[in-house]
């Protein structure tokens, strides 16, 4: 129940993620550029990154993540789809409309795309909470889908990745009840951005880390001002993970800032279970926080009634901190086997193949082009024709 109103809580009823056809181990990158592998495995906490096939993009990943959610719950109560991304495929049309079509959702649905770097999915989740609060019989399908892409041979290259997370938000949820109190922080900073004419992001690495840590302070201060929980009440924390080591930096910073003792064992206990998917998928921008949640819920520990902190950061920058509590019986609703399968089924590529895929770009002349069939996933980008993307079931 929601303590404030006496009505049932609202939150995450289902959570499913998908990633790409290919994976590049960091050992391949290290061998190519002569970096000691310890820098990747220990320094940034990354072991592999998901690489999209030529016929995969944010739409195919989003549809793949969301299809099992719709299959389990039906579409009768889903009246809104919010797709959050910062690697959008069109300046006007929402990627969610393609996903709506691929999933066969009813026409009586509102669909919209949201953007604010890696924070977008949290805005989507909060807006979904508001919509369900307004009409408790409705469910909202929130999808975060992103391809993280930096220039070849740049420092950001090791922090690429790709994935989509789909969440069904509704009343009386099966997984996580989201609490209404949030700490918020916005600051105009140029730490990471991608002008419309580029398909790779620009970033000031050091600035981006300090901007993230500044946002940690900002959201914690505001969360306290809003009457939020004490730090000691949180059992675990899910952070946005551009690379998994960043969550350790952020959590240490939070403990330090709030005057708590830093205990390495305790920090590892709180964070390690949240990093297991992101360490082998890489940065999935808007989806990364919710992959951290999936990893935590799919882990061995029984989290029933435990309070989890969520810290969402999107460069530029906007951040939000909120709490959720894990619903009794949640394990029966998890998709752990499918999540492991999504990671295990990826085909390992060598460095030359990765570079070739990285360098691919679509023709811009409006002609008719077939896209080579590479993915074995359920949805693919089949062609470009007259400046339109043509998707098909795989
Ligand atoms: N063994 C173990 N550790 C090693 C090592 C070795 N052989 N060699 C280096 N390291 C450690 C370093 O000491 C360093 O650790 P600390 O940060 O704890 O000091 C770590 O490995 C990384 O080394 P560098 O700082 O030298 O690495 P770099 O200059 O190549 O850049 C990066 C790292 C800034 C993260 C870069 O990959 C980057 O720019 N990434 C993209 C930006 C990003 O992810 N920013 C995060 C915050 S912004 C955000 O969150 C939004 C978003 O999604 C982008």
pLDDT per residue as tens digits for the range 288-338: 999 999 999 999 999 999 999 999 999 999 999 999 999 999 999 999 999
Question: Given this model, what pLDDT does residue 4 score?
Answer: 53
Please check whether residue 1 lies inside any domain of the structure: no
User: CATH code at 129?
Assistant: 3.40.47.10
Q: How many domains does the chain have?
A: 1
Flag whether pLDDT at 176 surpasses 70: yes
Please check whether residue 3 lies inside any domain of the structure: no
Is 150 labelled as part of a ligand binding site? Answer: yes
Question: From CA 239, how far away is CA 313, in angstroms rounded?
Answer: 8
Q: Is 333 exposed, middle or buried (0-12, 13-18, 19+ CB in 10 A)?
A: middle
Question: From CA 28, how far away is CA 37, in angstroms rounded?
Answer: 10
Question: Given this model, what pLDDT does residue 261 score?
Answer: 84
Percent of the chain with pLDDT over 90: 97
218: containing domain: 10-393
Binding site membership of 246 for ligand 1 (Cβ less than 6 Å)? yes
Phi, psi for 137 (deg, rounded to 5):
-85, -10
Q: How confident is the model at residue 5 (pLDDT cuts 50, 70, 90)?
A: low
Q: Pocket of ligand 1, candidates 29, 155, 313: which has the most ligand atoms within 8 Å of its Cβ, to mutate?
A: 155
Average pLDDT over residues 262-283: 95
Q: Is 356 exposed, middle or buried (0-12, 13-18, 19+ CB in 10 A)?
A: exposed
Question: From CA 199, how far away is CA 116, in angstroms rounded?
Answer: 16
Average pLDDT score over the chain: 97
Q: Is 157 a catalytic residue?
A: no
Please check whether residue 2 lies inside any domain of the structure: no
Please check whether residue 152 lies inside any domain of the structure: yes
Please check whether residue 370 lies inside any domain of the structure: yes
Binding site membership of 262 for ligand 1 (Cβ less than 6 Å)? no
- Geometric angle at alpha carbon 281, from 112 and 161, rounded to 5°: 60
Please check whether residue 65 lies inside any domain of the structure: yes
Strand 139-148 and strand 110-114: the pairing is: unpaired
Q: Is 26 a catalytic residue?
A: no
Binding site membership of 123 for ligand 1 (Cβ less than 6 Å)? no
Flag whether pLDDT at 2 surpasses 60: no
Q: How confident is the model at residue 262 (pLDDT cuts 50, 70, 90)?
A: confident
Question: From CA 63, how far away is CA 17, in angstroms rounded?
Answer: 10
Question: From CA 393, how far away is CA 379, in angstroms rounded?
Answer: 4
């Amino acid at each position: 129940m929601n303590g404030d109103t006496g009505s049932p809580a609202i939150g995450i009823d289902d959570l499913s993620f998908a990633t790409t056809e290919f994976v590049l181990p960091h050992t391949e990158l290290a061998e190519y550029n002569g970096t000691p592998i310890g820098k990747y495995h220990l320094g940034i906490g990354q072991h592999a990154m998901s690489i999209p096939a030529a016929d995969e993009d944010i739409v195919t990943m989003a549809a793949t993540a969301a299809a099992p959610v719709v299959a389990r719950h039906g579409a009768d109560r889903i009246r809104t789809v919010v797709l959050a991304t910062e690697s959008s495929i069109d300046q006007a049309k929402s990627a969610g409309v393609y996903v709506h079509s691929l999933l066969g959702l009813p026409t009586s649905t509102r669909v919209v795309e949201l953007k604010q770097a890696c924070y977008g999915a949290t805005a989507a989740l909060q807006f979904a909470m508001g919509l369900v609060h307004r009409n408790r019989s409705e469910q909202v399908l929130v999808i975060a889908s992103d391809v993280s892409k930096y220039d070849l041979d740049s420092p950001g290259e090791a922090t690429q990745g790709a994935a989509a997370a789909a969440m069904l938000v509704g009343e009386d949820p099966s997984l996580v009840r989201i609490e209404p109190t949030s700490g918020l922080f916005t600051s105009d900073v140029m730490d990471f951005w991608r002008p419309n004419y580029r398909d790779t992001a620009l970033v000031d690495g050091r600035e981006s880390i300090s901007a993230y840590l500044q946002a940690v302070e900002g959201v914690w201060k505001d969360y306290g001002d809003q009457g939020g929980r004490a730090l000691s009440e949180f059992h675990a924390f899910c952070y946005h993970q551009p690379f998994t080591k960043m969550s350790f930096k952020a959590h240490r910073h939070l403990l330090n800032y709030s005057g708590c003792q830093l205990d390495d064992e305790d920090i590892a206990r709180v964070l390690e279970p949240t990093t297991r998917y992101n360490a082998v998928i890489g940065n999935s921008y808007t989806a990364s926080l919710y992959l951290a949640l999936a990893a935590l819920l799919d882990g061995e520990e029984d989290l029933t009634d435990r309070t989890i902190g969520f810290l969402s950061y999107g460069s530029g920058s906007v951040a939000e901190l909120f709490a959720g509590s894990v619903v009794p019986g949640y394990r029966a609703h998890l998709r752990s086997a499918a999540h492991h399968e999504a990671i295990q089924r990826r085909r390992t590529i060598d460095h030359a193949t990765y570079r070739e895929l990285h360098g691919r770009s679509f023709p811009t002349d409006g002609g008719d082009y077939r896209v080579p069939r590479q993915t074995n996933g359920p949805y693919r980008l089949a062609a470009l024709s007259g400046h339109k993307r043509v998707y098909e079931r795989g």
